[in-house]
Amino acid sequence: MITFPDSHHPSNDCPIQHLPGDLLYDIAYIVASASSGLKSSNVAVAAPDSIRVVPISHVCRYWRALTLASPHLWSFLHLTTNMRLSMLLVFLSRSRDTPLYVRMRGPESFWDPSGDLLPGAQLLAEGHMERIEYIYISHFFRNDMMRLFELFADKRAPSLRSVTALSHFCVDIPAFLGGGMPMLQRLQSVGVSIPWLPYQNMIELDLANQPTPAKGDILWTLRHSPAIEVFSLFMHGRPSASLISHTEADSAINLPLLQTLRLGSKRATEDVLELLPHLDFPSTTSVHLHLRERPQKAVDWGNICPSLCAVQARVLAGLLKIIALNGLYRVAFRSLDNILSIEWQWSEWRWGPGVDQDVSSVQNTLDCVTLPSLRSLTIQAKQCYLTAEQWMGILQRIPTIRKLEIDFASEQTGSAFSKTPAIFDALGRRGPDGSTVCPRLTHLIVKRTTVMTEVEGTPWDTLARALQNRVLSGAAELECLDVETQESRNDGPPADWARPFVGSVQSINIHWRNNEWSAVHLPKPT
């Protein structure tokens, strides 16, 4: 309950002053919080900006008394180039001994003077570190960022729970709060190389655009962070020399509470592969691996990391994307429930007609991700020109699927469907052991198609022959063939369009433009 001195007791001539003080406090808090949440990609704090409380405190004596009696309203400090040191001193005085939430944003441009920004940060570092619970630093130029972190280098922060540091430049800081952060739970850094320390209470450690640390430093920090639930690390450049004297053996690091693991490297796959064998996490962990080079050899990552193997076994449905567009090449697999993703991106080789394609990169992707429980797969290909043999090498790696969705796209309008015969052909082939590719397949979906044409000489002709070959090889008929087209229904496909599928498909559904659909009735085979 908020109380006021008698001299500030509200009069009865204004209806709003009949509201309880606690309710008015809530209103003031909401008004001050408008469009001012302290947030980043993974951190959000619903908090007011204390400077927005100033006009509220000038409404009347009653409102002023209310705000001055509420130190929490003055504890959210947004330091910018416009924040004067005198104003900061007032806010610190009015906040009394409440916890502080500090956001520091650097100059908008080189011509924007920093004003009292760094002196304000120094004031906080030297006199108020024991109260700070949250620090958010962003948009400083490299030299100012270095000076800023020097102010906090040897300070102790006994109450600090969350740190966010964002930089457009790569900033290597020698130390940060070296005096200790025993309560720290969340640390997010982009472009700022935070020192590798033990974090006993760390829940979320999110590090992006980091110079590649020594493997031993990473493992040492994880070994001494038993409470961690989210660990995200994206690296670049050659590994740095170890900064820590490690005495522990390279035994597995148990992370029983880990919910999300994100690892990525812009340099080499080995930067990630060297970490995985040392990590022991639950099968319920979501794992996301992002790499900036094509895989050079087939390696089942589940064999080097048993925990990853357990995650892979949970995947029931997935999406395989193969993109070659404007010099960017990407191969990515993602489970539809987002518990597993693995992605490569590079720009070193070309795809296209007449080009000798190194598709081992595509096949190696699936070699890295053994999926024994996979039941459904969507393949999305953009400007993809793989041969039937190459598609066969991919499809052989997913023998358990029952549902396959094929979605080809092309820069040339209407040309995507012409690229599908190769994968259709692959579906009708046998592997080295004599077994049919995807022997359990029962449901096939084909997107971006055209059906207002005769079958002969079209991709449909290739598919019909492939499905017939599957039946002749002992595979079961398809239960359903779903076709999605942007054509209008009109009178439907030619009368004999479905005849080549008799005996290999039980039913065909055509999904037309404007959400119309129709079933194609197949005569009984004779």
pLDDT digits (tens, 9 = 90+) for 2-37: 555 544 555 556 676 677 778 878 877 887 776 544
Q: How far is CA 254 from CA 219, 233, 313, 332, in A?
A: 11, 18, 20, 28
Residue/partner pairs of 67-75 with CB below 8 Å, 24 or more apart = 67/28, 68/94, 69/2, 69/3, 69/4, 70/2, 70/25, 70/28, 71/95, 71/96, 71/97, 71/98, 72/98, 73/25, 73/28, 73/29, 73/32, 73/48, 74/50, 74/98, 75/50, 75/99, 75/100, 75/101
Residue 401 to residue 189: CA distance in whole angstroms: 40
| Parallel/antiparallel/unpaired status of strands 38-39 and 44-45 | antiparallel
346: left (phi over 0), alpha (psi -120 to 50) or beta: beta
Q: Label residue 241 exposed, middle or buried (CB < 10 Å: 0-12, 13-18, 19+).
A: exposed
Residue 303 C-beta-side C-alpha neighbours within 13 Å: 6
Question: Ranked by mean pLDDT, which of 168-172, 269-273, 338-342, 458-462 comes out on top?
Answer: 338-342
- Cβ atoms of 45 and 134 within 8 Å: the answer is yes
pLDDT of residue 451: 82
pLDDT of residue 47: 54
User: Could you tell me the two tokens for 315?
Assistant: 């995947």
Q: Which of residues 58 and 385 earns the better pLDDT score?
A: 58
pLDDT of residue 45: 45
Over residues 436-484, the pLDDT tens digits come to 999 999 999 999 888 877 777 788 999 999 999 999 999 999 999 999 9
Look up the pTM and report it: 0.86
Average pLDDT value for residue range 297-302? 72
> What phi and psi values does residue 486 have, to the nearest 5 degrees?
-90, 5
Residue 366 to residue 369: CA distance in whole angstroms: 5
pLDDT of residue 37: 46
Spell out where 348-456 has E strands: 376-382, 403-409, 443-449
Placement of tokens 């906080």 in the chain: 124
Strand partners, 298: none
Residue 394 to residue 371: CA distance in whole angstroms: 13
pLDDT of residue 411: 56
pLDDT of residue 183: 93
Average pLDDT value for residue range 55-84? 86
DSSP 3-state of 164: strand
User: Could you tell me the two tokens for 347?
Assistant: 């720009």
pLDDT of 134 over the 80 cut: yes
**Amino acid sitting at position 338:** N
Q: Which of residues 279 and 37 earns the better pLDDT score?
A: 279
Residue 5 to residue 217: CA distance in whole angstroms: 57
pLDDT of residue 351: 45
Residue 180: DSSP 8-state: B
Over residues 326-342, the pLDDT tens digits come to 667 788 899 999 999 99
Residue 258 to residue 222: CA distance in whole angstroms: 11
Placement of tokens 């592969």 in the chain: 273
Of the candidates 376, 372, 371, 327, the residue with the CA atom closest to the CA atom of residue 351: 327
Strand partners, 377: 318, 404
Placement of tokens 């076709």 in the chain: 483
Q: What is the mean pLDDT of the chain?
A: 83
Dihedral of alpha carbons 304, 307, 309, 315, sign: negative
Q: Which of residues 183 and 178 earns the better pLDDT score?
A: 183
- Orientation angle between helical segments 61-68 and 21-33, nearest 10 degrees: 80
Apex 495 CA angle, 491 and 498, nearest 5: 110
Over residues 222-252, the pLDDT tens digits come to 999 999 999 999 998 777 766 555 555 567 8
Confidence band (pLDDT; 50, 70, 90) for 44?
A: very low
